[in-house]
Amino acid sequence: MSPDNIFEGANESGGTEEKDGERKLGYGAAVVETMAQIMREDESVFIAGEDVGAHGGVFGYYRGLQPEFGEDRVVDTPIAEQAIIGLGIGAAVQGLRPVVDLMFMDFICVAMDQIVNQAAKLKYMFGGGAKLPLTITTAGGGGLSAAAQHSQSLEAMLCHVPGLKVVMPSDAYEVKGLLTACIREDNPTVFIINKRKLGDACHVPEELFEIPLGKGHIVREGSDATVVAIGRMVEEATKAAETLSDEGIDCELINPRTVQPLDIDLIVESVSKTGHLVIVHEAVRFGGIGAEIAAQIQEKAFDYLDAPIERVAAPFSPVPFSPVLEKKYIPDAERISAGIKNLF
Amino acid sequence: MDITDEILIDLYKRMVRVRLFEEEAGRLAESARLPGFLHLYVGEEAVAAGVCAALKNEDQITSTHRGHGHLLAKGGDFNRMMAELMGKATGYCNGKGGSMHICDLDLAMLGANGIVGAGVPIAVGAAFANRLTGNGLISVSFFGDGATNIGAFHEAANMAAALSLPMLFICENNEYAEYSPRHRTMAITDVIERAAAYGFPGAIVDGMDCVAVFEAASLAIEKIRSGEGPMMLECKTYRFYDHVGVKGTASNYRTDEEVEEMKKRDPLLVHEARLIESGVMSADSLQAIKDEIQKEVDKSVEFAEESPFPEVEEMLLDVYSKREPS
């Protein structure tokens, strides 16, 4: 952890390391590397947000960019979420490709008008004439005892708004590929950085690459049950699938990567094979992405289902502060395993 | 400041274009030929005309729910405006935006807006892009007195000042936030007092006089373009009709006497008197301008009424941009 990181418990951004000839990069470091590479190749990309410049972001995922690209392209703004999004919208309409940071996903609520009523709708309301290549980065998810206003997973709220794309990278590889795709996209995207994942490293290619938005990924093939896990839950679901494999349940794990647009075809195909579906997310169960996936699966794959669809998600309460409570609140491998077993 | 005859006539034409279009739109609304809400700009023409005449075509503006005047004063097209008001496929927004979302990106008009105050942060973004690319342009945000009570305005004003952006804030103070008088919604008399709090200069302007607005805007724009940071003008103006729709009198929130008193200061009458007294134009030639523009308005109604509605399939178009092959 860097000494000036104000969040006890947050992992450090993680640097690169060579191990067994494979280049590994931390989740947070992947944000920095991607931004730097994109800003070198595209002058229309800039970053604006609270403390993104001199401080490099409160989580450090913009560290080192201002020294290279200067104060004009890595812009420290006032604490003013509506104006930060507005700044991005106005600049995007002018043809730039802004990346604006909202620090904590919870703060998106402060800027909801600019995101929902302006950014998401401008193109449509203007009869198609406007392009809005705007990327909003924000840190979501719990697990740091950051309590109810700094820990939420609000992706379902955003997915309900036509015009937005909502992207949830589960590891450093996806951070790089999906962030690149978001910035090159001509639509407003919300790129949700999971703050518990910041220090986790995995193999990431050095050169820029894109992972297409709207395409899910089969993390693990299996024949007994389909498990759809979102964001950091991919990691927990992987552990659960490994455990259950020893017990004779063979899970197919799907990571949608983007929740809007949602790769429902991939899930339908998998459920057609396994006949069982469990959906896992960190957000509260009621009205979460799981509800949408479950509804679409009963529309599109009802005949293949051998059991009711199971959802493993947070209960319907604000995120609690106490570590003891929060640990029970956020789904983990154990709860996911129990959820999968419920199907059989 | 030297105001040429050409500028005086240009200001007049801009105001007449707005006035005659708006009066026509009002008549159409009253005869139920326009769907949706209509927020008429009548009475406030001097502000849009004075500011837009001082801008370059490429300078961006953001607007309000009362946005027809801003687009027309910047050179908007009657046909596409009227067609949009009727929800037709030939309209500015292909019939998908309507009165509150009129825009013309070719004229750097970044949209009317259905949310009070929401255009101001967007103008900050345009100003930021101007500075980053060094294109020498400025952005202007039009907003009402009521919008200055909204958080978005405060955030935008402070950010524009903190980043010293090339942006002009134009407050159209018509004394009413929808139906609530200014004295009930803020404890100050002049909105311009707020500019000082952000650390940028501002001035009060007679918003019923297009020349006063043009002069003040020109001076401000020159300073802003030279890199002096944002500025604000409070244009004291008046809405002749109601917040929405037409009527304007016999209301429960302002007296008819007040309306009549303000109509004596009708920006068109003020300017017509000036043009005639100074010998720039005769009454006949002013009437000829109005007749000519009225013909264009009439044609726009014809154009709009004859235009097709959008196909139902178009409902789902343009929710997202498609990726262009690189």
- The string of pLDDT tens digits covering residues B55-92 is 999 999 999 999 999 999 999 999 999 999 999 999 99
Distance between CA A55 and CA A78 in Å, rounded? 14
Domain assignment present for residue A42? The answer is yes
Give the 3-state secondary structure of residue A314.
strand
Amino acid A282: pLDDT: 98
Q: Strands B180-181 and B176-177, how do they pair?
A: antiparallel
Q: What is the mean pLDDT of chain A?
A: 94
**Is residue A281 annotated as part of the catalytic site, yes or no?**
no
Q: Is the pLDDT of residue A9 over 60?
A: no
Q: Is the pLDDT of residue A2 over 90?
A: no
List the structure tokens of A202.
């995995």
Distance between CA B179 and CA B173 in Å, rounded? 13
Give the 3-state secondary structure of residue B203.
strand
Distance between CA A203 and CA B148 in Å, rounded? 51
Least CB-CB distance to A93: which of B96, B110, B156? Answer: B110
Nearest CA in chain B to A125: B97
What residues have CB less than 8 Å from B304, skipping those under 6 apart?
B79, B82, B83, B85, B86, B88, B90, B91
What residues have CB less than 8 Å from A328, skipping those under 6 apart?
none
Residues of chain B contacting residue A215, judged by C-beta atoms under 8 Å apart: none
Work out the number of other CB atoms within 10 angstroms of the CB of residue B136: 12
Domain assignment present for residue A314? The answer is yes
Query: A132 vs B321: CB contact, 8 Å cut-off?
Result: yes
Q: Are residues A252 and A151 in the same domain?
A: no
Q: Are residues A155 and A179 in the same domain?
A: yes
Amino acid A14: pLDDT: 57
Q: Are residues A125 and A193 in the same domain?
A: yes
Q: What is the set of domains in chain B, with CATH numbers?
A: 5-305 (3.40.50.970)
Q: Is the pLDDT of residue A215 over 70?
A: yes
The enclosing domain of A83 has a CATH number of 3.40.50.970
**DSSP letters for A157-170:** HHHTSTT-EEE---
List the structure tokens of A314.
């947070």
Q: Are residues A196 and A53 in the same domain?
A: yes
Distance between CA B111 and CA B126 in Å, rounded? 12
The Cα of A292 is separated from the nearest Cα of chain B by a number of Å equal to 20
Least confident of A13-17, A92-96, A255-259, B295-299: A13-17
Q: Are residues A97 and A199 in the same domain?
A: yes
Nearest CA in chain A to B134: A72
- Single-letter residue type at B183: H
Distance between CA B81 and CA B88 in Å, rounded? 10
**DSSP letters for B59-124:** SEEE--SS-HHHHHHTT--HHHHHHHHTT-TTSTTTTSS-GGG--BGGGTB----SSTTTHHHHHH
Q: Could you read off the pLDDT of A225-237 as tens digits, one per residue? A: 999 999 999 999 9
Distance between CA A281 and CA A229 in Å, rounded? 6
Q: Could you read off the pLDDT of B256-270 as tens digits, one per residue? A: 999 999 999 999 999
DSSP-assigned letter for residue B226: T
Distance between CA A166 and CA B121 in Å, rounded? 23
Query: B94 vs A127: CB contact, 8 Å cut-off?
Result: yes
The Cα of A234 is separated from the nearest Cα of chain B by a number of Å equal to 28
Amino acid A15: pLDDT: 64
Distance between CA B148 and CA B145 in Å, rounded? 6
The Cα of B317 is separated from the nearest Cα of chain A by a number of Å equal to 8
CB B301 within 8 A of CB B28: yes
Q: Are residues A123 and A246 in the same domain?
A: no
Work out the number of other CB atoms within 10 angstroms of the CB of residue B166: 26
Residues of chain A contacting residue B326, judged by C-beta atoms under 8 Å apart: 184
- What CA–CA distances, in Å, run from B184 to A18, B180, B195, B248? 67, 7, 20, 20
Distance between CA A330 and CA A282 in Å, rounded? 6
Q: Is the ipTM of this complex over 0.85?
A: yes
Residue A27, domain extent: 17-203
Q: Are residues A197 and A54 in the same domain?
A: yes
The Cα of A199 is separated from the nearest Cα of chain B by a number of Å equal to 32
Q: Is the pLDDT of residue A129 over 80?
A: yes
Distance between CA A245 and CA B52 in Å, rounded? 70
Q: Strands A310-314 and A258-260, how do they pair?
A: unpaired
* Cβ–Cβ contact A130 with B under 8 A: yes
Q: Is the pLDDT of residue A13 over 60?
A: no
Domain assignment present for residue A209? The answer is no
Residue B326 confidence class, pLDDT cut points 50, 70, 90:
low
In a mutagenesis test of the B interface, which of A39, A114, A123, A125 is the best target, namely the one with the most B β-carbons within 10 Å? A125
Query: A81 vs B155: CB contact, 8 Å cut-off?
Result: yes
Q: Could you read off the pLDDT of B207-256 as tens digits, one per residue? A: 999 999 999 999 999 999 999 999 999 999 999 999 999 999 999 999 99
Q: Are residues A120 and A41 in the same domain?
A: yes
Q: Could you read off the pLDDT of A132-188 as tens digits, one per residue? A: 999 999 999 999 999 999 999 999 999 999 999 999 999 999 999 999 999 999 999
Single residue among A203, A232, A248 that ends a domain in this structure: A203
Give the 3-state secondary structure of residue B30.
helix
* Cβ–Cβ contact A214 with B under 8 A: no
Q: Is the pLDDT of residue A3 over 70?
A: no
Q: Could you read off the pLDDT of A76-85 as tens digits, one per residue? A: 999 999 999 9
* Cβ–Cβ contact A85 with B under 8 A: yes
Within 37-76 of A, beta carbons closer than 8 Å to B belong to: 46, 48, 72-73, 75
Amino acid B1: pLDDT: 81
Distance between CA A176 and CA A33 in Å, rounded? 8
How many residue pairs bridge chain A and chain B with CB atoms within 8 Å of each other? 153
Residues of chain A contacting residue B120, judged by C-beta atoms under 8 Å apart: 86
Q: Is the pLDDT of residue A37 over 70?
A: yes
Domain assignment present for residue A242? The answer is yes
Q: Are residues A153 and A194 in the same domain?
A: yes
List the structure tokens of A106.
């919870």
Amino acid B56: pLDDT: 98
Least CB-CB distance to B321: which of A114, A125, A187? Answer: A187
* Location of structure tokens 């009362």: B66
Single residue among A173, A203, A233 that ends a domain in this structure: A203
Q: Could you read off the pLDDT of A262-318 as tens digits, one per residue? A: 999 999 999 999 999 999 999 999 999 999 999 999 999 999 999 999 999 999 999
Q: Are residues A73 and A43 in the same domain?
A: yes
Domain assignment present for residue A131? The answer is yes
Q: Is the pLDDT of residue A342 over 50?
A: yes
Residue A20 confidence class, pLDDT cut points 50, 70, 90:
low
Distance between CA A194 and CA A23 in Å, rounded? 22
Domain assignment present for residue A11? The answer is no
Domain assignment present for residue A1? The answer is no
Which residues share a beta bridge with B234? B171, B204
Query: A117 vs B94: CB contact, 8 Å cut-off?
Result: no
Least CB-CB distance to B103: which of A87, A113, A126? Answer: A126
Distance between CA B203 and CA B219 in Å, rounded? 11
Distance between CA A149 and CA A155 in Å, rounded? 15
Strands lying side by side in the sheet with B60-62:
B60-62, B139-144, B167-173, B231-236, B202-206
Closest CA to B163 of A157, A271, A262, A48: A48
Within 218-257 of A, beta carbons closer than 8 Å to B belong to: none
List the structure tokens of A240.
């659960």
Domain count, chain A: 2
Q: Are residues A81 and A192 in the same domain?
A: yes
Residue A10 confidence class, pLDDT cut points 50, 70, 90:
very low
Q: Are residues A185 and A254 in the same domain?
A: no
Nearest CA in chain A to B128: A91
Single residue among A168, A203, A238 that ends a domain in this structure: A203
Amino acid B263: pLDDT: 97
Query: B124 vs A83: CB contact, 8 Å cut-off?
Result: yes
Closest CA to B125 of B163, B75, B97: B163
The enclosing domain of A315 has a CATH number of 3.40.50.920
Domain assignment present for residue A211? The answer is no
